[in-house]
Amino acid sequence: MKLNQTEGHWHRDLAKSISSIDKLIQEDVAACEKLERSELEKIKSHLDIRVPATFLDEIKKNNTALAKQFIPTRSELIFFPEELEDPIGDHIFSPVPGLTHRYPDRVLFKPTYTCASYCRFCFRRTQVSHQKSNAETYRAAFHYISEHSEIWEVILSGGDPLVLPDPILEQIMTELAKIPHIKIIRLHTRIPSVLPTRITPQLIALLKGSGKSIWVAVHINCAEEFTPACTQALSTLAENGIPVVLQSVLLKDINDSEDALISLLKTAVENRVKPYYLHYPDLARGTEHFRIPLKKAIALVKGLRGKISGLSIPQLIIDLPEGKGKIPVNAHKMVEVSENFWELESPIDGSLIQIRYPQEPRKEQK
Ligand SMILES: *Cc1c(COP(=O)(O)O)cnc(C)c1O
Ligand code: SF4
């Protein structure tokens, strides 16, 4: 296949990422030099390695927030008893390979298990970089979706759906376009941050060509990820009428301070990206070094309300094991003390306000 010019850029940029142990050792990135080759090989066997070229200079300057996300460390080989192979129970609600149907009106479809960078905290690390999709799994997924008219939204996740070449994405869009009950196609992607040149005019055209409402949930964890190229990619999406929301993971030493979190969230809004979910890290094996105590996570998020614009505030989310689903964590106290009588915590000064809200049905006052 001959690539035209803009199309060619992203393939070239992807090829520049560091994905072999030799190259990693050669590039001499700080955290890696202390690891033996055999350790790196062991780590790679759990989750492949790929450091995005776009952050290499910053990583070499010891930018912890970027280095810790992409550079493998020995901690990944330490497993704790509460950590799970399938931390959110993807397989429990999987009617056909690559598809998870946990919530009635939407399915998660993984058309690929490859990513443009491998995040060391990846919660799907036993699938990502190991499993493969093929024509048969695609056929089965499209068939299931078309047979289930309660499905309103298809979430393309993975892996990263945007590492797929245009002809494959076009095929997915064409298949979904044929299904009348599908109104929304949402893409979960890290690409605008780690491979921004992938957001080409051709890509936009093929997404819009589906005729469905396209939403993008971009995965970004620190303000430094909003490079000029990333800002450009996000603008392209916004200017083409594709709403973008932010999904971040709350990560130790990466965004677990109030300053780092506020900087991330405000930079997102400045880029027309609405913070949607802030995930407490799932209990994936070998990821303990990324978790902070839940109590601290709640306090951090609580500190945002009443301080920064509501536009910048995401919902803190825990995704329960065994497919029990996502739950929003309420940071502020809210207790029904007695029938319709509530005690609520003020985000301004922390005081507890007691307040009666109306009962139902209500008799008219004469
Ligand atoms: C996270 C997830 C979704 C999306 O949930 P939203 O709350 O709509 O963002 C859908 N399906 C599965 C299986 C998921 O894990
Ligand atoms: S982009 Fe997502 S799926 Fe891919 S390695 Fe990172 S967290 Fe995992």
Summarised one tens digit per residue, pLDDT across range 241-296 is 999 999 999 999 999 999 999 999 999 999 999 999 999 999 999 999 999 999 99
Summarised one tens digit per residue, pLDDT across range 122-141 is 999 989 988 999 999 999 99
Q: What is the mean pLDDT of residues 138-158?
A: 97
Residue 177 is encoded by which pair of tokens? 């376009």
Summarised one tens digit per residue, pLDDT across range 107-116 is 999 999 999 9
pLDDT value at 3 more than 60:
no
| Ligand 2 atom with the shortest distance to the CA of 249 | 7
Ligand 2 pocket test: pick from 47, 194, 219 the residue with the most ligand atoms within 8 Å of its Cβ.
219
Q: Which of 50, 68, 110, 124 is catalytic?
A: 124
Going by alpha carbons, the residue nearest to atom 8 of ligand 2 is 122
Q: Whose atoms come closest to the Cα of 129: which ligand?
A: 2
Give the pTM: 0.95
Summarised one tens digit per residue, pLDDT across range 171-221 is 999 999 999 999 999 999 999 999 999 999 999 999 999 999 999 999 999
Query: How sure is the predictor about 5, in pLDDT bands with cuts at 50, 70 and 90?
Result: low
| Ligand 1 atom with the shortest distance to the CA of 217 | 9
Mean residue pLDDT across the chain: 94
Q: 3-class secondary structure for the chain? A: CCCCHHHHHHHHHHHCCECCHHHHHHHCCHHHHHCCHHHHHHHHHHCCCCECHHHHHHHHCCCHHHHHHHCCCHHHHCCCCCCECCCCCHHHHCCCCCEEEEECCEEEECCCCCCCCCCCCCCCCCCCCCCCCCHHHHHHHHHHHHHCCCCCEEEECCCCHHHCCHHHHHHHHHHHHCCCCCCEEEEEECHHHHCHHHCCHHHHHHHHCCCCEEEEEEECCCHHHCCHHHHHHHHHHHHCCCCEEEEEECCCCCCCCHHHHHHHHHHHHHCCEEEEEEECCCCECCCHHHCCCHHHHHHHHHCCCCCCCHHHCCEEEEEEHHHCEEEECCCCCEEEEECCEEEEECCCCCCEEEEECCCCCCCCCC
- 120 a catalytic residue: no
Q: Is 128 in the pocket of ligand 2 (CB under 6 A)?
A: yes
pLDDT value, residue 1: 45
- 115 a catalytic residue: yes
| CA 138 from centre of chain | 22
pLDDT value, residue 90: 84
Lowest mean pLDDT: which of 33-42, 66-75, 190-199? Answer: 33-42
Query: How sure is the predictor about 44, in pLDDT bands with cuts at 50, 70 and 90?
Result: very high
Q: Which of 42, 74, 106, 272 is catalytic?
A: 106
Q: Is 249 in the pocket of ligand 2 (CB under 6 A)?
A: no
| Ligand 1 atom with the shortest distance to the CA of 101 | 13
Query: How sure is the predictor about 307, in pLDDT bands with cuts at 50, 70 and 90?
Result: very high
| Ligand 1 atom with the shortest distance to the CA of 102 | 13
Of the two residues 184 and 89, the one the predictor is more confident about is: 184
Q: Is 46 in the pocket of ligand 2 (CB under 6 A)?
A: no
Q: What is the mean pLDDT of residues 34-51?
A: 94
pLDDT value, residue 89: 87
Q: Is 100 in the pocket of ligand 1 (CB under 6 A)?
A: yes
